[in-house]
């Protein structure tokens, strides 16, 4: 069946995709509010609040929340992103009402108990410390800073320990009241679900919520900066990022094909040239990150310190080659990967719910699968080559690196490798 949508009087949207062949339902609350919507002194509060949602409500204790969902064989979790926060669950098809009741309760009625807050503060401080101990996590946090500087997109979702240590309940309440409005929310379900019944129950839980307004955001400028951290590691972790289309840009499909050809799998150019032919690293891949008004296309690789110059040289040549020649065979292979990924999402209620909800938050509609396939199919080698040239040629990348940096080329020298020849 196709996607069905209902709009409550307060502007909240209920979206479902019925998959009658499944025995489960994945459902959740997607809010257009995340780390990007924090003030500088609030950095980390969206993530902290998401944690606190599970620490007790007016009707349930923290332990009670976990026991109630798990007694039904279900699972519940949440995630904070730059532009969205998600509270979600997966249950058997007859237990979706229970899951919706629990999700709405933790979302609307969390007490933000002071004792629980202090315990969770310690948990998040441990999470921050753990991220700093993981170089392949740290380098991506540094990459955001290198791309966007002091803009909210340039900050860590977890926030700095110094702010988490002093964050208060009043600050959390103020941020929640400022951002958790009905007009920013999609309540979505996928699986063995009836849309009308789900919409009725959602209205009971969320119908009283104020409509509010959309996020008040300002667009960043891609800064192409550098952010590095010296650490005594056996490998140097490196990320290069370039300014790329945002998710509203019709070239987003071309970028997905470009990224797949460049470093999206074992047949990609980077994997074959950097790892298979030269053995310069174990892990190398490209990735695209798109927000509502900006985007970035990046490459990650990790290698021993003595190989960093060779790695940068080979990687830059491979990236620049994308603007010179792209074959039909490469494009067809990349398009097959992207189409298969779309279809595979239809086999998972959780993946489909997340896909549908995010599409509706971003565009106010959910494109038919056939439409998405057509847009991918329309990408040509000339499209990919032109986009690669516009992204890489003559444009300086941002640089982030973690590890032993003595042999790492300067940011200026790396940028010079991408000058137009």
Catalytic residues: 50
| DSSP characters over 77-103 | EEEE-SS-EEEEEEEEGGGHHHHHHHH
Report whether 404 contacts 236 (CB < 8 A). yes
Residues 6 or more apart in contact with residue 153 via CB below 8 angstroms: 36, 82, 144, 147, 220, 291, 294
Report whether 206 contacts 183 (CB < 8 A). no
Q: What is the DSSP letter of 66?
A: H
Question: Across the strands, what pairs with 398?
Answer: 241
Rounded (5°) CA angle 393-398-402: 135
Cα(363)–Cα(415) distance, integer angstroms: 35
| DSSP characters over 274-321 | IIIIT---S-EEEEEEE-SS-EEEEEEEEE-GGGHHHHHHHHHHHHHH
Cα(190)–Cα(254) distance, integer angstroms: 28
How far, rounded to the nearest angstrom, does the alpha carbon of residue 157 sit from its chain's CA centroid? 11
Which sign does the torsion angle of CA 362, 80, 152, 48 carry?
positive
Q: Which two tokens stand for residue 56?
A: 């007790």
Length of the chain: 421
Would you give the end-to-end CA distance of the chain in angstroms? 53
Cα(41)–Cα(117) distance, integer angstroms: 18
Residues 6 or more apart in contact with residue 85 via CB below 8 angstroms: 30, 31, 33, 34, 46, 50, 78, 79
Instruction: Give the count of alpha carbons within 13 A of 255, CB side only.
Output: 23
Report whether 44 contacts 158 (CB < 8 A). yes
Question: Across the strands, what pairs with 295?
Answer: 244, 290
């Amino acid at each position: 069946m196709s996607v069905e949508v209902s709009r409550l009087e307060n502007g909240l949207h209920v979206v479902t995709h019925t998959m009658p062949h499944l025995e489960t339902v994945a459902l959740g609350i997607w809010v257009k509010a995340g780390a990007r919507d924090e003030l500088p002194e609030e950095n980390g509060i969206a993530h902290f609040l998401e944690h606190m949602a599970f620490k007790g409500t007016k009707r349930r204790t923290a332990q009670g929340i976990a026991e109630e969902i798990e007694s039904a064989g279900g699972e519940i979790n949440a995630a904070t992103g730059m532009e969205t926060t998600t509270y979600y669950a997966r249950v058997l098809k007859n237990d979706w009402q229970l899951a919706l009741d629990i999700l709405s309760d933790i979302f609307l009625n969390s007490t933000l108990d002071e004792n629980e807050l202090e315990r969770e503060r310690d948990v998040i401080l441990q999470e921050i410390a753990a991220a700093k101990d993981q170089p392949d996590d740290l380098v991506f946090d540094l990459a955001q800073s290198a791309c966007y500087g002091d803009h909210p997109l340039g900050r860590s979702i977890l926030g700095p320990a110094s702010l988490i240590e002093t964050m208060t309940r009043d600050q959390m309440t103020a941020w929640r009241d400022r951002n958790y409005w009905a007009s920013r929310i999609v309540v979505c379900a996928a699986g063995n679900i009836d849309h009308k019944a789900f919409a009725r129950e959602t209205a009971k839980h969320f119908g009283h919520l104020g409509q509010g307004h959309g996020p008040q955001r300002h667009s960043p400028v891609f800064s192409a900066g550098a952010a590095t951290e010296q650490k005594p590691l056996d490998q140097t972790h490196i990320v290069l990022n370039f300014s790329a289309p945002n998710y509203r840009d019709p070239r987003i499909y071309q970028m997905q094909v470009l990224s797949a050809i460049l470093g999206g799998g074992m047949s990609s150019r980077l994997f074959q040239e950097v790892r298979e032919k030269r053995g310069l690293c174990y892990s190398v891949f490209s990735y695209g990150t798109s927000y509502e008004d900006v985007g970035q296309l990046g490459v990650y690789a990790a290698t021993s310190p003595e190989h960093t110059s060779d790695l940068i040289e080979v990687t830059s040549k491979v990236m620049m080659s994308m603007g010179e020649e792209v074959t039909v065979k490469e494009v067809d292979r990349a398009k097959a990967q992207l189409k298969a990924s779309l279809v595979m999402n239809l086999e998972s209620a959780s993946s489909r719910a997340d896909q549908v909800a995010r599409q509706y938050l971003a565009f106010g509609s959910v494109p038919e699968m056939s439409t998405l396939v057509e847009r991918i199919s329309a990408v040509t080698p000339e499209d990919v080559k032109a986009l690669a040239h516009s992204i890489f040629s003559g444009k300086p990348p941002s640089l982030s690196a973690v590890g032993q940096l003595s042999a790492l080329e300067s940011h200026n020298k790396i940028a010079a490798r991408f000058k137009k020849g």
